Amino acid sequence: MLLFVALLAGTAVVQAAPSSVQLDELTWTEVRDAMKAGTTTVIIPVGGTEQSGSHMALGKHNVRVKVLADRIARELGHTLVAPVTAYVPEGHIAPPTQHMRYTGTVSIPDDVFKGVIEGAARSFKQHGFTDVLLIGDHGGYQSLLEAVATRLNREWASSSARAHFIRAYYDASQEPYHQALRDRGLTEAQIGLHAGAADTSLMLATDASLVRLDQMKVDREAAAENALGVSGDPRRANAALGQLGVELIVSRTTAAIRQAIARPR
């Protein structure tokens, strides 16, 4: 009898519905069944592989957008998260400009980037998803994501599917988050625009393993910022400050998505 009960328990575990909302952690039949159960929304999260100073790993945007997209999908319900797009425009390759001046950054042309996002979105439409959400963790390609959504919606005008560029995701990480940091005594010079206290705190709150704490202690005043790829001072960064940004991003993005999906088709 005990063996029979154990076998039943094991079978129940195997047959339990998957808890992940990450598409690449599910089988195709699990995705099919989720859609039959009402999952018709998918998030395409976009990151980027770029330098973030000597104290943060190149995959900062990729890891961060995956973690936050997961939170957003669970808040929304009936939503899956596509694999992160890790290759994005980061500057001219040769001669190198922007982030491409720093070793390890990967850049692709604008048209290639848009083609990848469009192809992914069309794939999801083909499978029956009706709301395809585009969110991006990096500021440089926001207008490209918007252009993709505009083009797809023209193409899909006679169908039930729509593409939504959710600008609120990136916007929440800017002025609203920076104001929250100012309210806690941080200066603009500390907050920074790239790899400073704001950026680093967000990373500490989402995956601290990507931050090199010993490198944050380097005397930034004695180092040339343009040599390190940093705008700001990460030394005031901590996970508690980053959590302020996480909550802002998740709440504002979730609200914006709900509003977008509720609009008449």
Give residue 13's pLDDT band: very low, low, confident or very high (50, 70, 90). very low
**Does residue 56 lie in a domain region?**
yes
**Model pLDDT, residue 140:** 96
Indicate whether 77 pLDDT > 80.
Answer: yes
Over the stretch 104-135, which tens digit does the pLDDT of each residue have? Answer: 999 999 999 999 999 999 999 999 999 999 99
- Between the two ends of the chain, the Cα-to-Cα distance in Å is 56
Indicate whether 224 pLDDT > 90.
Answer: no
Indicate whether 221 pLDDT > 80.
Answer: no
Mean pLDDT of 169-188: 98
**Does residue 3 lie in a domain region?**
no
Over the stretch 193-208, which tens digit does the pLDDT of each residue have? Answer: 999 999 999 999 999 9
Place of tokens 């890790």: 86
Amino acid 11 reads T
Domain count, the chain: 1
**Model pLDDT, residue 228:** 85
Q: How is residue 59 written in tokens?
A: 């995959």
Amino acid 176 reads P
More confident residue, 246 or 264: 246
**Model pLDDT, residue 225:** 53
- Segments forming the whole domain that contains residue 114: 20-262
**Does residue 7 lie in a domain region?**
no
**Does residue 153 lie in a domain region?**
yes
**Does residue 142 lie in a domain region?**
yes
- Structure pTM? 0.91
**Does residue 24 lie in a domain region?**
yes
**Does residue 152 lie in a domain region?**
yes
**Does residue 68 lie in a domain region?**
yes
Cα(175)–Cα(179) distance, integer angstroms: 6
DSSP H or E stretch at residue 39: none
* CATH (domain of 114): 3.40.50.10310
Cα(178)–Cα(83) distance, integer angstroms: 29
Q: How far is CA 231 from CA 51, 187, 189, 197, in A?
A: 12, 13, 8, 9
